[in-house]
Structures are given as structure tokens and as C-alpha cells.
Structure 1
């Protein structure tokens, strides 16, 4: 299927060509389509005309059979691209640096391909993370995990960065964590686990006020945990506090403040303890100190209640003759039923004079 019949549709904005074999013929390369697509959904092989300049902002061509390399002139053809997804294809080669020059790009997903050059997640990318990727001012989500990136982290992320989520786990990143986030307190997730990072945990991590997910496990970090990360106050944590060893020995009572369900040192609340009752001037000799119930009072109360019930029943039967007759009739019937039940089911009783 060729796209040339669609080139004159000047008002075309949305196009779904999935489950087709879409391609561009040689003559189409010199044509410029009149439509200004806003959304494009495709599956199957697809080639963009070489000389087109489109205002396309959303491009999703994932889960296809695309092969070959990403065109190096992609910025020239799609300068206003905001969303690009080419995941789950067979794209190979390196990622062109021109992608970093698309300042409007917010989401880039090239995962699950066979990329071998530089840059995304679950590929075979290696070398250092390119500096230009940190200059994409509109980028919010970056996932480079599961590759072979090595070397140090970038030194800084500028104030113009809109990054919210950074996933760099399962690589071979080395050296101390030297990067800083200038004015980037909007970081929500930072995953640097499963690398070879060394040195101390930087103090600036504690300044990321909006951070809700931090993973630094499986590295070679050393030193103390920054004081900003030594507090879990103002949460709804419950259970017993960790043993006061290693870094947890520095946790004071203020570190667990406003967690009403926590117990254990250094908190005054002892786990599993029953608060003793207030002392009284006198106490009985038979008081059970191990519980909250005075058993002597319990037995007396139970006996009085039992007697009161019997007296109430007797008074009702005495006052109301009808209920009295009905009650004695009920007792007589019950006795007879029990007698005949025993006679029918236990013949041996007749030998003892019960017949």
C-alpha cells in the first residue's frame, strides 16, 4: 500500500494504517504531503518520504518488524515530535545524535530492539551515556536500564531539565555519584541499583523533596547515610523499629516522629507490652495481676445473675397461672419423651424395673 493517494488530503489529522504493508515508492520521495498529521498508528513495514517536513507530534510504530537504522535526519523531518515509540522491533545500529536536538521530545521509547551503538532499556548499548540526552529540556521519563553503559554519571543536570523518572539500573556505571540536579527537586524516581558505583551517597539526594522512589542497592557505596535520609517521620509506618546497629544507631526519637503504630527503641512505646492499670491504695489478696479481670468479682457477679434469673422465672410462673400450667405440661412432656426414648433405644434398662 502506497501513501501517495493520501497526500492530497489536506485536512487529514488522524491516520490508522495498522495491519497493512505501508511503504513509500521512489516517486513519492520527491512529493510533500498536504496533510498535517497529529496522530499516526501503524503496524507493518513503513517508510517516510525523505523530503517531507511534517508537524507530527505523536509517532508510535512499536511492535512491528522494522529493521535497519534510525534515520539520522529524523530531526529535519519531524522537528516538533513530542512522543516517539519504536519499541519491540528489530531496529539496529546506533541512535542518531539528532534525536537530542528535538527540543520538544518528551517521551522516547526504543526498548526491546537490537541497538548496539549508543542508546534504551534492555538492549546491548555500551559506552558512556551521551551528554546530549541530558539536554533534552522536555524529556520527563528516561529508562536506560538493562544495558552495558559504563563510565561515570553525567556531572550535572541543568535547571531547564523536566526529568521526573530516571532508571539507570543493571548497567556497568562506575565512579562516585557526582551528578547534581540544579533546581530539579521535581525528581520522583531515581534507580541506580545494580551498578559499580563507589564513594558516598551524596547529600543532594536528601534535597530532592518530591522523591518517592530511590534505589541504590547492589553497588559499592560506602560511608554514612546522609542525615536527610535518616528520617522516616510523618508517615504511617507500623511494627517494630530496626535494631539500633550500624546506621540505625544514629536514628533518634525524632526520626520516627508521627508514626503512631511504631514501637521499640528509641521510642517510649514498648512492643507487645500491656500497660499496667493505675495503682490503687488497696487491693484484694486474690487479685490476678496478670490480667484485666478480677476473677473473684466475676464469680460473685455470675452467681448473683444466675439466682436472679431463677427468681424471675419463679415469680412469673407464680403470678400467671396459665404460664404455670404450660410450664409444668412442658416439663411432663419432656420427661415422657426422654423415658420412651430410653425404653426404645436401651432395652437393657427394662431389666432394672423401668418397664
Structure 2
């Protein structure tokens, strides 16, 4: 016997080929690699364990090891077929899991002594009935392959010793012959797992014959049954786990008529169950540890009998239509509860208004209900609370100061309530906070310096849509922050240096405040920045060229400020689906909860002249530049390769000059282009007709000339309002004919060294103006000379005007002043 397991050996195993008398070899959990041809000479082996290495290639070398009784090749990189094991007829245990085997499994049908067979996590396919001859099997795992398995399990009916059958992530299909056969399976399963996909109609009949089941997982199989299979509980009194997630089950939820003393895990989430939750559910299932009934259509109140489940640790009733208050008996009796999810229901009243004993809570999610009242002080006793989500309710009052003393709290969301007052001061106990969201309340005053205690771990901050004023404290420098949302407040002063070293920052939204000064050059340090939103502030100066160093920009909105100068030609903008998507997830602190928390914030951005709120799942497909309503000058110039994936561009309401860049016609993804209210000249590029996704186009109120584009393809969807205010445009859209005179030869075409003034010949204009002026003067002189009456009247009116001016000066200025000038 030779055991070298759990070491750091590497390389090949050629040195083992001389050990021909070995009967047992275990070299598992090392870093050996290469092929296994060296073991073909070890013909006396009865046990061979090569698991958890990096072996690759085929396994033909083992076909000579005919005395093997146990073979473990799991967690390697073997590939090819399994034909080599056909000769190993003495095998009692075979594990080929976590490899890359493919093809059918016909070679296994000769291994009639197998008691344990694990083929999971490969690419095997073919007829599963090849296993029906393995009458000694007790454990069979074929999960995560490409088998087509009949829901009746008919090929295994004769495997009388089978106790554990796992076939997750294959294709489960209905058995067409099940209705015509009434045979009873010989196996008595303890555990069955068929979780994956497929539509099988009703529950397989073999389940009705099982009475020793302990673990059942039939998730993600569409049964289309209109009631809960309570008979599974009544027939299997030793059942511990029942998992029926996403099975298209509907109708009422029923519990057994008597107490079930072993069921501890029940998950029926993501179905279509309706009606009330049985009032006696807690009394009939008193030993539940995990209960998930989320994403159904349950209504009515929460049964107070949940308070009888003193062992319950996980309770998720979210995304239903439950109403009423949280039962006081549940708040007292579920003393072991660690996760309580009641979000997105119709619950109301005060939160935990009565007695409270849920001091073991780690995660409390009550968002999306109609709760009123203040944040209950009894939560201060939950010293291990990790996630607290009370958002989207009608909670009022001030944010209690004890929240900041929750030393384990990592995520706090009280957004979209009616909280008021100032942000409370705290003393640094909340330094473990990673996500803080208090948006859309009525908070006011300064942001306290105590926020600096969050510098170490803070990843997400949302204080938007409040009335906070002043500036961020100078000590606030969160190095790990990824998202900052402070829009729609009353913040003042210059852009704070708080984010100077926030190199992981993805979103910075300071729109709709009163910030002023220049956009700082240190913005180039934010190498991960994707969304820069500074809309409607009082920023001035030039757009910093340092923005060109940001390679991951997706949206930049600097509109409605006082920015001047030119547009940096080197700006780079692309959608996140062409870069790396960034998300902030807070994993559940509980191993039994397969969920995570992400506080999702909408970003307001103007597209097609309207403002929309976009969530991240939409933002990842967007890219845009909005520099409208500033004082920008100069010509429009972009490096085309930096904006090839641009979707929206708004440069309206500036003082930009020069022609419309023809390279815009290369932006094939462009959906919205607004260049209105500038001083642009020249023609509208006819190539814009090739912008097939263009839905909004506006070049009104410029100095554009020439003919409006033909109304073909996408440009055919835009009317005259998109071109109005350009006096030198012609065409049917602006109601002006394009005659040959309307487009004269430019001075450059006539004289190479003269300036081009569009339609006006300036030399002719000056000459004609001077001639007209001289003619008018001569006409006046001639009339006065010829007609003495008009001449007398002219000089009379001149004298009257002089006298009026004199007396006006005498009456309105001091005498000494007037006399001194006479």
C-alpha cells in the first residue's frame, strides 16, 4: 500500500511503473499532471485513487488493472470515452466525476458488482438504460451531464438496492409509457434529486410508492399541478428536505393532517401557489429550520403559528401579496430566527410594535411594504444584525442614533421613506458599513464629519433626493467606494477632494446641486469611472483634458453648467457591454441563503430631449455624452475610434462653430444626435442617411446651408422642426426652393486668396451700400435746391431742434455749469 495524498507533488508519475506488487495506491490531492500510462504495469492493484490532480488524456492504461475493486479518477482533466473500464468487472466503487469524459456509457453495463457510481460533471450522453443491469447499485450520481432521463425512472425499477439517485442538470422528460404500465419500482429511495429542466406534466407515479425518502429535490421541473403534494409528507415520515422551487405548481398550499416531526427544510419558492398560508403551519411543521415561500401569490395575513417554530432560522415570505401586521407571537416565539424576508408584500402597521425576541437576527428585509411609524428601537437589541433593509415604506421620524452603534451592520437601506431631520452623529462603531442608502427622504443639514469613519470599507453611498447642504467633510476619503449618489441635494462649494484617491469608483453622480469651480484634474485618477454625472451645477472653466485618461467611461453628463472653451477631442466613451461590467453585491452572511443584496439606484439621463431614469441592467447597454447648455466654443472634433459605440450625443445650446463632422456618419449605433442652438455652418452630411438606428435628430437654430437631406431611410422620419432656424437651408422641409442662385459660387472658387463668406459677396455688398448712400444724399440736396418752400421748412425745423436742445440743457444742468460752457 502506498499513500502520498495531500502533498504538493507535481510532474508525471513515470517512477511508479516499477511498483508492480502494489495492491493499493493513493496519490490524490497533489499536482501531478500528464498521462497515466505508467500505471498499466500495476496489475495487482485493488484500489487506485488519482483524484484531485491535473491528469489529462484518455484512461486506456487502466484496462489492464482487472483486479480493481475501487477506482477514483475524479477532479482531473481526463477526456475521451469510458470504454477502458469495461474489463474492470470486479469494481464495487467507481468515481469519474469532474472530468471531461464524453460519449455513451455502454461500457459500464458489464460492471454488475458496482455499489457506488459517480459520473457527475462530465459531458456524457446516450441511453441511460445501460445502467439497468447494475443490480448492486446503492448510489448513482449522473448529474451535470447530457443524459435524457425519463421522469418515471423506469430503467432503474429493478435496482432493488438503490438508495441515492442524483441526476441534476440533465434533461428530464415525460415517459410516454408510464400511463400504460402499472409496475411498481423495487427500489426504496432515501434521496432523490432531479433538479434541472423539463416538462413532465403530473408527478411521476414512482413517488407514490416511496415511503423512506429523506431528501427530495425536484426543482425546475414543470409539473403543472394545481396543488401541493402534501402526500409526500404523509407517506414519508422521515422526510427532512423537500425542494420544489420553480415547478409551476399552483393552487392552495396544504400541510399534513398530523405533525411532521422530521421536516426541517422546505422550499416552494417561485411557483404560483395562492390563497392563505395555512393558519396551523407552525404547529404541524414545528421543527422547520428553513422555510422559503417567496415569489408566489399568497395573500391574507402572516400566521401567528410561526411563533411555534422555535428552531426556525430562515423565513422568506417575500414577493407575495400578504397583508396585515407582523404577528407579535412570531416576533416572540422565533427566537432562533436569523433571516426574515417579508419584502414586496402589502404589510402595514408599525414594525414590531409589541414584544420582540428576534435578537438573533442577522438579516432583516422589510422593503416594499406599507409599514408606518418610526424605526423601532427594539432593533437595537439585534447586536449581530448584518443587513437592514426598510426601504420603500412610509416610515417617518428621525434616523435613530443607535443604528450607528451596530458594529456588525454592513448594509443599511432606508431609502424612499418619510424620514426627516439631520443625519445623526455617530462614534465610529459603524465602521463595517459597506452600503448606505438613505435616498428620497426629507433629510437636511450638513453631512456630519462622523461619516469619515466609513472610509475603510464603504463601497456604496446614496444620500440623493434630500435637502442636504454644505460640503462633504474634508476627512471623508473612502478608498474602496464604488458608487456615490448625492444628486438632487443642496450641496455647495467646489467639487470635494473626497474622491481624489477613490480609484475603484464606478459611478459619481452629483447632479442637481450648487457645486461650483472647476472640474478638478484629479478626475483622471478614477481609472474605473464609468458614469460621471455633474448635470445642473455651477461648474465653470474648461473641460479638463484629463478626462481622456478614463478608458471606461460610459456616460458623461456635464450639461447645464457654465463650462467654456473647447471639447476635448480625445474623450473615450463606450457601453459597458463592450467593457467590463461592474456590480456591487453584498453576499448573504448565511450559508443556507442562496442570495445576495444589491442596492440598485436609477441614474437620470437625457435622451431624445427627455429625461429618463435608467437602472443598471439598462445602463450597461448605453453610452452617451451630454455637454448641452454650457458656453462651449470652437469646432466639434472627436477621435472616431473613441466614440464608435456612442448611442447618444447632445451638444446643444452652446456656441460651437464650424461644420458638422462627417465622421459622425460612422457612428452606426447612434440613436440620438442634438446639435441645435449653436453656430454651426456648412452642409448637413448626406451620409447621415446611413445611421439606421437614429431616432432623434436636431440641428435647428444654427447657420447651416445647402439642401436639407433627402427624406429617405432613417432621415425620412424627421420633420421641419429638426431644421428650423437655419436661414440658408433650402429644400421642401424648410419651405424654400433650392434654385441655382441660392447656392452661388464661393469666393474661394473665384479667387483663391479671398475669404469665404457663404452666400454674400462682401465686395459687392460694400460697393452697393456706398453707392446707395451717395445717391440718397444727392437726392435730398437736389430736392431742397429745386423747391424753396421745402428748403425754408427744412431750415426752420433744424433751428427749432437746436433751440430745443439748448433749453433742455439750461433747464436740467446747474447754472454755473451752463454758464461756464457758454
TM-score for both structures, normalised by structure 2: 0.28
Q: For 1:161 and 1:52, locate their aligned partners in 2 and report how far apart those are by CA, in whole Å.
A: 34
Quickly say closer, same or farther: Cα 1:15–1:81, change in 2 above 3 A: same
Partner deviation per Cα, 1:88-138 (whole Å, 9 max, x = no partner):
222110112333554443433323222222353222222112357963344
What RMSD, in angstroms, separates the aligned Cα atoms of the two structures? 4.3
Q: For 2:502 and 2:426, locate their aligned partners in 1 and report how far apart those are by CA, in whole Å.
A: 30
1:62 positional shift: 1.7
Q: Give 1:81's match in structure 2, choosing from 267, 281, 288.
A: 288
Q: For 2:441 and 2:290, locate their aligned partners in 1 and report how far apart those are by CA, in whole Å.
A: 33
* 1:12 match: 214
* Residues 13 and 35 in structure 1, CA contact (< 8 A), matched pair in contact too: no
Q: Unaligned regions of 5+ residues in structure 2, if any? A: 1-201, 327-341, 460-467, 479-496, 504-519, 523-543, 547-822
Higher alpha-carbon deviation: 184-193 or 116-125: 116-125
Q: Give 1:60's match in structure 2, choosing from 267, 272, 284.
A: 267
* Residues 411 and 435 in structure 2, CA contact (< 8 A), matched pair in contact too: yes
1:36 positional shift: 2.9
Q: For 1:48 and 1:236, locate their aligned partners in 2 and report how far apart those are by CA, in whole Å.
A: 45
Are 2:332 and 1:126 equivalent residues in the alignment? no
* 2:642 match: none
The structure whose RCO (Cα within 8 Å, separation 6+) is larger is 1
1:220 positional shift: 1.6
* Residues 324 and 347 in structure 2, CA contact (< 8 A), matched pair in contact too: yes
* 2:372 match: 150
Secondary structure of residue in 2 paired with 1:142: strand
Q: For 1:133 and 1:212, locate their aligned partners in 2 and report how far apart those are by CA, in whole Å.
A: 30
Q: For 2:400 and 2:439, locate their aligned partners in 1 and report how far apart those are by CA, in whole Å.
A: 17
Quickly say closer, same or farther: Cα 1:171–1:31, change in 2 above 3 A: closer
1:49 positional shift: 0.6
1:211 positional shift: 0.8
Q: How does 1:143-292 map to 2 (within 5 A)?
A: 143-159=365-381, 162-178=384-400, 180=402, 184-204=406-426, 206-230=428-452, 233=455, 246-248=469-471, 250-252=473-475, 260=501, 271=522
* 2:304 match: 97
Quickly say closer, same or farther: Cα 1:113–1:162, change in 2 above 3 A: same
Higher alpha-carbon deviation: 78-87 or 206-215: 78-87
Quickly say closer, same or farther: Cα 1:132–1:186, change in 2 above 3 A: farther
Q: For 1:212 and 1:261, locate their aligned partners in 2 and report how far apart those are by CA, in whole Å.
A: 15
* Residues 7 and 35 in structure 1, CA contact (< 8 A), matched pair in contact too: no
Q: Give 2:241's match in structure 1, choosing from 8, 25, 38.
A: 38
* Residues 192 and 215 in structure 1, CA contact (< 8 A), matched pair in contact too: yes
* Residues 373 and 394 in structure 2, CA contact (< 8 A), matched pair in contact too: yes
Higher alpha-carbon deviation: 249-258 or 119-128: 249-258
Q: Select the structure that is richer in helix.
A: 1
TM-score for both structures, normalised by structure 1: 0.59
1:219 positional shift: 1.1
* Residues 415 and 441 in structure 2, CA contact (< 8 A), matched pair in contact too: yes
Quickly say closer, same or farther: Cα 1:72–1:184, change in 2 above 3 A: farther
Q: For 2:501 and 2:254, locate their aligned partners in 1 and report how far apart those are by CA, in whole Å.
A: 61
Q: Unaligned regions of 5+ residues in structure 1, if any? A: 238-244, 263-268, 275-355
Q: Give 1:113's match in structure 2, choosing from 297, 301, 320.
A: 320
Quickly say closer, same or farther: Cα 1:258–1:153, change in 2 above 3 A: closer
Secondary structure of residue in 1 paired with 2:346: coil
* Residues 344 and 368 in structure 2, CA contact (< 8 A), matched pair in contact too: yes
Q: For 2:435 and 2:448, locate their aligned partners in 1 and report how far apart those are by CA, in whole Å.
A: 16
Quickly say closer, same or farther: Cα 1:273–1:31, change in 2 above 3 A: closer
1:197 positional shift: 0.9
* Residues 93 and 115 in structure 1, CA contact (< 8 A), matched pair in contact too: yes
Partner deviation per Cα, 1:235-264 (whole Å, 9 max, x = no partner):
899xxxxxxx944264259897996579xx
* Residues 240 and 262 in structure 2, CA contact (< 8 A), matched pair in contact too: yes
1:215 positional shift: 0.7
Q: For 1:15 and 1:232, locate their aligned partners in 2 and report how far apart those are by CA, in whole Å.
A: 43
* Residues 29 and 51 in structure 1, CA contact (< 8 A), matched pair in contact too: no
Q: Select the structure that is richer in strand.
A: 2
* 1:317 match: none
1:69 positional shift: 1.2
Q: For 2:256 and 2:440, locate their aligned partners in 1 and report how far apart those are by CA, in whole Å.
A: 47
1:202 positional shift: 2.6
Q: For 2:379 and 2:473, locate their aligned partners in 1 and report how far apart those are by CA, in whole Å.
A: 32
Q: For 1:151 and 1:20, locate their aligned partners in 2 and report how far apart those are by CA, in whole Å.
A: 42
Quickly say closer, same or farther: Cα 1:110–1:173, change in 2 above 3 A: same
